[in-house]
Structure 1
Amino acid sequence: MKVAVLVSTGRHPVSGAARYSRNDAAALTIAIGIAKAQGAQLDVLHAGDPANPALAEYLALGAPKVEVLNTQRDACAALAQRLAGYDLVFTGTRAEGAYDSGTLPYKLADALNLPLVGAAVDVDVTTEGVEVRQFMPKGLRRRVRAPLPALVAVHPLANAAPRYAYARMREGRVAPIAASAPVDKESTAWSVGPVMAKPKKLAAPEKRSGHARMLGATTTESRGGSVVIEGSSVEKAQVILAYLREHQLVDY
């Protein structure tokens, strides 16, 4: 049995320093457990810059070696060529603080023609294939079975506790490998830049007393809103502007 884990690099949200992805670290921990239980071959892969210092941290998290496909072209195509013949492929849901579109698991599963199971919190290999417990909204979980070979995208809240050991970082190695891949045609239309802060939603300040707020948490009541149906667009705009001024959401 051959198992592969795809790891990415991210950035610290405050300092901007390169660091490993906590989501991918959870995927690596799950893959290590399965590889030991099944006596399988485990390969850890990354497509990108082999000089990124964050890659060495995956060695400290248990990876014996990190194989880096040194390509600046289509990473998905390079990974698809390398992953041919693997029984189980693990990824995170998305990268953290870098190129975190979250589309790689889907594009890779399509390129390899593999079933994709996302939002995995627990993964077990059975005689019938792979059994995954998926994360669902509102604390719900569900079990999904898929035949092997398969691709599993691990959820950030997976039941995995990565353990960091500096000695393992000294023992392992990052191995750059030249990879050939076609030019990513989609990237020519991209505009790459730093992530901008998301705009904050305007909200009127709470003016009720603590007792009134407690009652509002247990009962359904009207919040005092109004619906303006009649009138011109100018009159409706004046009503909205008056509301914003009343609650000091604008200063003009």
Structure 2
Amino acid sequence: MRIALLLSASRHPVSGRPVPTRGELQALALARTLGGEVVGLFAGADPAGPTQALGHGLDHLVHLRLPEGTDPVPALAEAVRADGFSLALAGPRSVGGDETGLVPYRLAGRLGWEIAAGIVAVARTSAGVEVTEALPRGARRVLASARPLIAIAHAGAPAPAPYAYAQERRGRVERREPAAPDEMHPSGMVEERPLRRRAPIVADAATGAGTRLVGPTPEEAARAVLAELRRIRAIP
């Protein structure tokens, strides 16, 4: 079984040096519990940080070379499809960069895969994989999936394996040029929309404006809620 590990261009919060995040290394530790080959996927300009994951047990790193500021999702999707992965793991978010945490979700949407967050354990089954999700107050929930899946590691996942410099030196880095550069675009590009006036909900809450109902019927309550939402222009 070959497993993909999504890596980001993160930096140490104090020194600013390129490093893999703890969450990504915990995702790597989860992947190692399954056996098989773990392949890191990094789409970006400088792989200095992701390369260090080789010293924590990553078998193989694929560097998808992209210009700085380019959206990594199309290149990652292309690599996942080309290499035939059905399971990918990721950390919650990068550090020292955009830190949106959206790349795994956007990648899952592009691939049509399922996604599960807050994962502390993963196991293979005859039908696919089972992941254990961390819930509030220490609760756990087991989710089974027979479809391709992206799992996002939780802070309570296994600790990263110790770093070994010699292991990093022995690791293999494969560099690729994404085959569909026309799909790439700067990640900072956004869709422009006309400004829509926000509803004055905060101001009304501060002044106590609104209607108070005591013991209304469900129909009366629903009509009053709709009327209030229209009054504050929260809905048309």
Q: Using structure 1 for the length normalisation, give the TM-score.
A: 0.68
User: Could you tell me how far 1:186 is from its partner in structure 2?
Assistant: 5.8
In 2, the alpha carbon distance for the partners of 1:92 and 1:228 equals 43
CA contact (8 A) 1:5 1:91 kept: yes
1:144, CA displacement in angstroms? 1.2
Is 1:96 equivalent to 2:77 in the alignment? Answer: no
| Partner Cα distance (2:129, 2:102) in 1 | 22
Judged with a 3 Å threshold, the aligned counterparts in structure 2 of structure 1 residues 114 and 189 are, in CA distance, closer, same or farther, namely closer
Unpaired runs of at least 5, structure 2: 192-205, 209-236
The answer to whether structure 1 residue 70 and structure 2 residue 65 are counterparts is yes
How far is 1:156 from its partner?
Answer: 2.5
Which consecutive aligned stretches of 4+ in structure 1 deviate over 6 angstroms post-superposition? none
1:206-249 deviation digits (Å, cap 9, x = unpaired) = xxxxxxxxxxxxxxxxxxxxx998xxxxxxxxxxxxxxxxxxxx
TM-score (norm. length: structure 2): 0.72
Give me the whole-angstrom Cα distance separating, in 1, the residues matched to 2:48 and 2:109: 31
Structure 2 vs 1, CA of residues 75 and 18 (structure 1 numbering), >3 Å: closer, same or farther?
Answer: same
Of residues 161-170 and 172-181 in structure 1, the stretch that sits farther from structure 2 once superposed is 172-181
Percent of aligned pairs with the same amino acid = 31
Secondary structure of residue in 2 paired with 1:8: coil
> What do you get for the CA RMSD once the two structures are aligned?
2.2
* Partner SS for 2:49: helix
**Which letter maps to 1:116?**
I
Gap change, CA 1:155 and 1:67, over 3 Å in 2: same
Between the aligned partners of 1:64 and 1:159, the Cα distance in structure 2 is 18
- 1:136-190 Cα distance to aligned partner (Å, 9 max, x none): 2222221111113211111132124422111101111333211133133762239
Asked if structure 2 preserves the Cα contact closer than 8 Å seen for 1:55 and 1:174, the reply is: no
Contact kept in structure 1, 2:3 and 2:85, CA below 8 Å: yes
Distance in 2 between residues matched to 1:159 and 1:65, nearest whole Å: 21
Q: Secondary structure at the match of 2:99?
A: coil
Aligned equivalent of 2:232: none
2:29 and 2:158 in contact (8 A); partners too? no
